[in-house]
Amino acid sequence: MMVIRPAQTEDLDDILALAAAAGTGLTTLPNDPVRIGDKIQSSINAFTMDIAEPGPEYYFFVLEDLNAQKVVGTSALVAAVGMDEAFYTYKLSTVVNTSHDLGIYNKHQILVLGNDYTGATEIATLFLSPEYRGGVNGRLLAKSRFLFMADFPERFADTVIAEMRGYSDDEGKSPFWRSLGKHFFNMPFAKADAISGLGSNQFIAELMPQHPIYVTMLTKAAQEVIGQVHPKTKPAISMLKREGFRYQNYVDIFDAGPTIEAPKDQIKTYRSSKLMTVKVGAPTIVSDTALTSLMVSNRQLKSFKTCVVESNFDDEVLRVEESVLKALKVSEGDSVRVACLRNRPHK
């Protein structure tokens, strides 16, 4: 059985193995025992804090294969970005220059550096071991965060964002960086991106140009990748768009990958989840409704757990095998939160 739970200190070696497999593309999962250890401890602190409003808390989740007793995936939530370190993005805007005397009308796209997403909740650090991809594991890893948000809404902002990896070629080179960023940073793209991923953003304010960047001044290759995702990121952004996330012309300052957003209460999994009473037994078939894959959370903050069951979403009682109760650490009669993995709205 596969279970989502908070990361613990004993998970360090497994998470480092995942970080090594992720390579340089996932800067929020560095292959560094000190940095990962800090993330785990920050997360442990976040899960034990009394929260009146969202702040810089970092919630670090892992996907555990209970049969193999190892961690095979990671995901995270940052309750409110930009609270400790500035959160920079480029906003793609339009300016118009007109000369009535000359009869010239020019419309230009510009990139404006800003901190518009300060205070928003960010979903981050999504990685699944290649050998566990396929089936429901990826969706469980990604969407279980929305169940957690639904269980504890006061801990998260009204707006939720996701920074998507921008386009780079087979050699890991970013056309956008080569046209813009490299002129202001005396370092390779991978290093600048990695430093930013570690939360050290002061160098951005010190080195990036503060004036708008006219897109037409960039190379054609750079212009073409603004707001585009890396090919390997297409499944992730498609899933988030089905959840209700939308691109609003904000892009990453290094690779121009899109930042997408959604109102928290409009995220489909968040909105369509519901509370059910859990009991041991065979699922009830209502009318001709077939069983479906459901995510189930135990609604417990410090020992949060989520797994997948095949059951019926149209009943008020969730009937499952006893092994599910054991995995979630709940008892018969407890209230659990349930949502469909494929966003099937409940009646």
Q: How many residues does the chain have?
A: 347
CA 340 to chain centre: 19
CA distances, 28 to each of 39, 77, 127, 213 (Å): 10, 11, 10, 27
Element (H, E) at 41: helix 33-48
Residue tagged 């960086």 (tokens): 177
Strand pairing partners for 287? none
Nearest to 293 by CA among 61, 65, 137, 67: 137
Q: Among 108, 183, 211, 230, which one carries the catalytic annotation?
A: 230
CA distances, 181 to each of 3, 27, 86, 171, 217 (Å): 41, 17, 18, 17, 13
Element (H, E) at 141: helix 137-151
How do beta strands 213-214 and 246-251 pair? unpaired
∠ Cα 128 130 132 (to 5°)? 70
Write the DSSP string, 57-85.
Answer: -EEEEEEEETTTTEEEEEEEEESSTTSSS
* 100 a catalytic residue: no
The secondary structure of the chain in percent helix, strand, coil, rounded to multiples of 5, reads 30, 30, 40
Q: What is the Cα–Cα distance from 346 to 292, expressed in whole angstroms?
A: 12
As given in the structure block, the two tokens for residue 292 are 């479906």
Residue 63, classified by CB atoms within 10 Å of its CB into exposed (0-12), middle (13-18) or buried (19+), is buried
Task: Count CB atoms within 10 A of the CB of residue 124.
Answer: 23
Residues annotated catalytic, as ranges: 230
